[in-house]
Amino acid sequence: MKKKILVAGGTGYIGSHTTVELQQAGYDVLIIDDLSNSNIEVLDGIERITGIRPEFVQLDLKDKEGTRKALQEHPGVEGVILFAASKAVGESVQQPLKYYRNNITTLINILELMPEFNMKGIVFSSSCTVYGQPDPENLPVTENAPIKPATSPYGNTKQINEEIIRDTIHAGAPFKSIILRYFNPIGAHPTAEIGELPNGVPQNLIPYLVQTAIGIRKELSVFGDDYNTPDGSCIRDYINVVDLAKAHVVAMNRMLENKSDDKMEIFNLGTGRGVSVLELVNTFEKATGVKVPHKIVGRREGDIEQVWANPEKANNVLGWKAEESLEDTLKSAWNWQLKLRERGIQ
């Protein structure tokens, strides 16, 4: 019998790629998503890749009774991967209560329901944002680097979520947990059947960059060239979304197969390589042959100067490693944008 996994937020960007990897690894998937920031057609994309349509319930996970009912009607879920959350840093500053309500209520509901349904493990999507700007001696960042005060309500929800999980496990919850701290996920599935679909004007670098390359946006603004980095622009660790998705499968398998005695584990998911904004623009232009009009503007408020991962713990303990090159990853983002145009979407 195939094991069934609940992918909460499974029609979103990382959730859809993870659903594909789970199915290809032999798991059944139940997606619960309220479609507040994603599209029902994502299910078609998933099905075109794997030949399997995941079970789907459209539901806001803040609705605990509704979630309980969905789990009763779709029995047999053994583990949950929680993506469903609001994730725009700027919006979280404007609407903090939306972020606290969405991101915290959803986690509490799921943690409360897990024992009722005998679920054995939860994978939680966290973020490198919990490290803030690490001190120079802590770069690249390991999981032991200090947690810095959050600079946005969004970042704070990730810290609070991690603490809620820690306290729940500490209190003897009958399940395991793995917290994955993502660096900057980018790119799309190599088939270009699924990818990132930002609403409105993109806030993140890659969606804005590809929309500029295809002519939807006039030019990309590079936020600052006066940082203390080799070319003055900010440095991040850009990780391929399919690589990232695969880490979730390994993490889930680790809990369901009892491969570790630890009830809570934390892993950084990155490539280990820091890349500047300007380097990224150059690499995109070389990899695709397409020019990206760009100009340097002032710094973006709240931006971190430089952060990249030390992924050794994930490499050695999980046996997972980011494999895709930055060039291929950027090409996949471009192919996805071309596909969106072909379909008349963006």
Residues lying near ligand UD1 in the complex (CB under 6 A) are found at 87, 89, 127-129, 184, 203-205, 208, 220-223, 234, 236, 277, 300, 303-304, 307
Name the closest residue to ligand UD1 (Cβ). Answer: 234
Rounded distance between C-alpha atoms, residue 235 and residue 279, angstroms: 9
Nearer to ligand UD1, 6 or 275 (CB): 275
Q: Around Cβ 219, how many Cβ atoms within 10 Å?
A: 12
> Rounded to the nearest whole angstrom, what is the least distance from the CB of residue 120 to ligand UD1 in the complex?
27
> Rounded to the nearest whole angstrom, what is the least distance from the CB of residue 142 to ligand UD1 in the complex?
16
> Rounded to the nearest whole angstrom, what is the least distance from the CB of residue 283 to ligand UD1 in the complex?
13
Nearer to ligand UD1, 24 or 221 (CB): 221
SS3 assignment, position 42: helix
Of 154, 208, 227, 238, catalytic: 154
Residues 6+ apart with CB under 8 A from 213: 284, 288, 290, 291, 292, 334, 337
Nearer to ligand UD1, 127 or 161 (CB): 127
- The identity of residue 196, as a single letter, is E
At 160, list the tokens.
């609070």
> Does the annotation count 99 as an active-site position?
no
Rounded distance between C-alpha atoms, residue 109 and residue 106, angstroms: 5
Nearer to ligand UD1, 220 or 314 (CB): 220
What DSSP character marks residue 300?
P
Q: What share of the chain is helix, strand, coil (3-state, %, to 5)?
A: 40, 20, 40
> Rounded to the nearest whole angstrom, what is the least distance from the CB of residue 237 to ligand UD1 in the complex?
9
Residues known to be catalytic: 154
